[in-house]
Amino acid sequence: MKINKKMLIGLHLGNGYGSQSGAWRMPGVDPMSYTSFDARVKQAQAAERGKFQFLFLPDGPGAVMTDIETEAPAFNLDVMMTLAAVARETEYIGLVATGSTTFNEPFNLARQFKALDVMSQGRAGWNAITSSGEDVAANYGRRIPSSEDRYGRAHETIQLIQSLWGSWGKDAWIHNQKTGQFANKDQILPINFQGKYVSSRGPLYIPPSEQGQPIIFHAGGSPNAHELAGRFANVVIGAAFTIEDAKAQRNIFRASAKSYGRDPDEIKYIPGLMTTIAKNRRTALDRRIKLGGDSLIQRLGYLQQMLGVALDPSRINEPISKVQLDVARPSRYDPRSANALKIAKEGWSLRDILAHGVIDYHPVIVGPGVEAADHMQAWFEAGAADGFWISPDVNADGIDAFVNEVVPILQERGLFHTEYEGKTLRENLGVTDQYGIDPRV
């Protein structure tokens, strides 16, 4: 199989509105997108038009709410239902859902993801995470187990699930109407997996998809997460604010893969990028200001801590004075601080500094498409990323903006493919074939 040397791009598909909490109230946005599977399908189709390799659906599982009075929950109603709807209306784009190894029975996960893989003709990926929030655990009447127990269960769960995926042999399905043989029973065998945390007899009665079985993704930053991903994952969904940090993280995952006897190129590190794409910086900032509303200004106190200088809310429309900028120092405790100071030194008003998204949870591009393309090129060529997962501010028009304004630049620069390599997620990610467990690990 041809190894993909160009960057990979995924789309963050969450609550149907976009990554900014004010997205649900923007003009042109259907306020009922939260429950609209049609909206998700339309957004997936927009990403497919842009040749994105995959959709990434985070999950708690369940919503983690900060303020239901004014904000939409951040997650899908149900990630597998969304992807089933999307699978029927798209042809090429990969379908990646988060599924907790702590709060699911492995047999159920194995069955749902392989059914999705068959339904989508080989486009499914499973983001195998252990869950870490007590608010999620409370939905199951539980407390979060220790890291050792969560990751212990995760290692067993992935092995068990891959065994179930392989338990229906690759060539077991005969379906010969003339001879009357439906399947070769000698190739459909129980797995009799007995672990410390999880067990299953099997088999799973689902034949292979066009890509054999789903691809494993992981998202997490702890040493235990590095190890789990290095052993099983082909893609890591990451979060990093600087090239140096992304590079370091990517290298850790690559080293971990190597320690399990794998080729480091088998694991792709994909950090996030948030986007507000408009014709110029000013228009983009104004869009962010409209999106942020009052909540933007409430972040001034935090910006003050990032820069180490007192900021006066009554001067929200003025730049930071030269005297203050001279003494400002980026906080050691927040990796976003250096970027915030850099923006401040460009002379933007306090409101505009905040509108640059300097306190968001991934790097943010607020400006014309070329700025996003430059960011992605710099990180990709520095060996800091194998691609990016994109979180548009407002999905209703933000996906199209990225597809129309950023993708063509990346393609012209030879950094992004112009056609899908094939129809399966493995082909499009350049991931080698696997059926059942990986015998090397």
Ligand X SMILES: Cc1cc2nc3c(=O)[nH]c(=O)nc-3n(C[C@H](O)[C@H](O)[C@H](O)COP(=O)(O)O)c2cc1C
Interface with ligand X (CB under 6 A): 58-60, 98, 129-132, 147, 219-222, 224-225, 237-239, 272
Report, in Å, the least distance between residue 329 CB and ligand X: 27
What is the per-residue DSSP string for 165-195?
A: HHHB-TT-EEEETTTTEEE-GGGB----EE-
C-alpha 436/C-alpha 168 separation (Å) is: 9
Assess whether the previous peptide bond of 408 is cis (omega < 30° from 0).
Answer: no
Nearer to ligand X, 26 or 109 (CB): 109
What is the per-residue DSSP string for 141-156?
A: T--PPPHHHHHHHHHH
Report, in Å, the least distance between residue 344 CB and ligand X: 27
Contact 55, 95 (CB under 8 A): yes
Nearer to ligand X, 133 or 293 (CB): 133
Report, in Å, the least distance between residue 362 CB and ligand X: 8
Nearer to ligand X, 86 or 225 (CB): 225
Nearer to ligand X, 14 or 398 (CB): 14
Long-range contacts for 103-109 (Cβ within 8 Å, ≥24 apart)? 103/61, 103/131, 103/136, 103/137, 103/139, 103/140, 103/142, 104/61, 105/198, 106/156, 106/157, 106/160, 106/161, 106/164, 106/198, 106/200, 107/164, 107/200, 107/202, 107/204, 109/157, 109/161
Assess whether the previous peptide bond of 61 is cis (omega < 30° from 0).
Answer: yes
Report, in Å, the least distance between residue 170 CB and ligand X: 31
C-alpha 428/C-alpha 35 separation (Å) is: 30
Distances, alpha carbon 75 to alpha carbons 193, 225, 371, in Å:
33, 22, 28
Nearer to ligand X, 98 or 163 (CB): 98
What is the per-residue DSSP string for 348-363?
A: -BHHHHHHTTTTSSS-
Report, in Å, the least distance between residue 319 CB and ligand X: 33
Cα-Cα end-to-end distance for the chain: 21
Nearer to ligand X, 229 or 296 (CB): 229
Report, in Å, the least distance between residue 54 CB and ligand X: 14
Give backbone dihedrals phi and psi of 245, rounded to 5 degrees, phi first. Answer: -65, -45
Report, in Å, the least distance between residue 250 CB and ligand X: 13
Report, in Å, the least distance between residue 1 CB and ligand X: 27
Report, in Å, the least distance between residue 238 CB and ligand X: 5
Nearer to ligand X, 303 or 429 (CB): 429
Contact 277, 399 (CB under 8 A): no
C-alpha 136/C-alpha 141 separation (Å) is: 9
Nearest CA-CA partner of 11 in 64, 59, 63, 48: 48
Contact 18, 34 (CB under 8 A): no
Nearer to ligand X, 135 or 263 (CB): 135
Contact 98, 79 (CB under 8 A): yes
Report, in Å, the least distance between residue 293 CB and ligand X: 26
Burial 95-110 (b: 16+ CB within 10 A, else e): bbbbbbbbbbebbebb
Contact 37, 81 (CB under 8 A): yes
Nearer to ligand X, 116 or 307 (CB): 116
Report, in Å, the least distance between residue 58 CB and ligand X: 3
Nearer to ligand X, 136 or 340 (CB): 136
Nearer to ligand X, 64 or 370 (CB): 64
